[in-house]
Structure 1
Amino acid sequence: MNIVIADDHPLFRSGVRNLLRTTEDLEVVGEASSGDEALELAAALQPDLILMDIRMPGLNGIEATRLIKERFPRVEVLILTMFQDDQSVFTAMRAGAKGYVLKDADETELLHSIRMVGSGGAVFSSDIAARMIHYFAAPKADVKADNPALAELSKREMDILERIAEGETNAQIASRLFISAKTVANNITTILNKLQVADRNAAKRLLKESREN
Structure 2
Amino acid sequence: MAGVNRPLRVLVVDDDALVRAGLSMMLDGIHGIAVVGEAADGDEVLAAADAHAPDVVLMDLRMPRVDGITATRRLRSRRNPPEVIMLTTFDTDENIVYALRAGASGFLLKDTPPAQIVEAVRKVAAGDPILSPRITRRLMDRTATQAGAYQRARAALATLSPRENEVVLAVAHGRANAEIAAELFMSVATVKAHVSNVLGKLGLDNRTQIALLAHDAGLT
TM category (shorter chain) comes to: 0.5 to 0.7
- Contact persistence 1:81–1:102 (CA under 8 A): yes
Match of 1:66 in 2: 73
- Contact persistence 1:102–1:125 (CA under 8 A): yes
Match of 1:141 in 2: 150
Whole-Å separation in 2 of the counterparts to 1:95 and 1:22? 30
Whole-Å separation in 1 of the counterparts to 2:132 and 2:212? 36
Which entry has the higher C-alpha Rg, 1 or 2? 2
Aligned residue type for 1:132 = L
- Contact persistence 1:3–1:47 (CA under 8 A): yes
- For structure 2, the residue ranges without an aligned partner over 5 or more in a row are 1-7, 154-164, 175-207
Aligned residue type for 1:50 = V
Q: Deviations over 1:67-94 (max 9, x none)?
A: 1000144310000110100000000000
Aligned residue type for 2:59 = M
Aligned residue type for 2:49 = A
Aligned residue type for 2:119 = H
SS of 2:96's partner is helix
TM normalised by structure 2 equals 0.64
Match of 1:105 in 2: 112
- Say whether 1:49 aligns with 2:53: no
Whole-Å separation in 2 of the counterparts to 1:209 and 1:134? 20
Whole-Å separation in 2 of the counterparts to 1:84 and 1:8? 18
Whole-Å separation in 1 of the counterparts to 2:80 and 2:73? 10
Whole-Å separation in 1 of the counterparts to 2:79 and 2:88? 22
Whole-Å separation in 1 of the counterparts to 2:80 and 2:72? 10
Note the C-alpha offset of 1:39: 2.0
- Contact persistence 1:42–1:72 (CA under 8 A): no
Match of 1:25 in 2: 32
- Contact persistence 2:75–2:81 (CA under 8 A): no
- For structure 1, the residue ranges without an aligned partner over 5 or more in a row are 151-164, 166-203
SS of 1:100's partner is strand
- Contact persistence 2:87–2:108 (CA under 8 A): yes
- Say whether 1:77 aligns with 2:84: yes
Whole-Å separation in 2 of the counterparts to 1:65 and 1:133? 24
Whole-Å separation in 1 of the counterparts to 2:79 and 2:24? 23
Match of 2:10 in 1: 3
Q: Deviations over 1:82-128 (max 9, x none)?
A: 01000000000000000000000111111111111121111111110
Note the C-alpha offset of 1:18: 0.8
Whole-Å separation in 1 of the counterparts to 2:107 and 2:30? 21
Aligned residue type for 1:90 = V
- Contact persistence 1:47–1:75 (CA under 8 A): yes
SS of 1:50's partner is strand
- Contact persistence 2:42–2:65 (CA under 8 A): yes
TM normalised by structure 1 equals 0.66
Note the C-alpha offset of 1:210: 4.5
Q: Name which of 16, 34, 37 aligns with 2:44.
A: 37
Note the C-alpha offset of 1:46: 2.4
Q: Percent identity?
A: 35
- Contact persistence 1:53–1:80 (CA under 8 A): yes
Whole-Å separation in 1 of the counterparts to 2:18 and 2:73? 26
Quote the RMSD (CA, aligned, Å): 3.0
> Structure 1 pair 209/124, CA: closer, same or farther in 2 (3 Å)?
closer
Match of 1:16 in 2: 23
Q: Count residues with an aligned counterpart.
A: 159
SS of 2:112's partner is coil
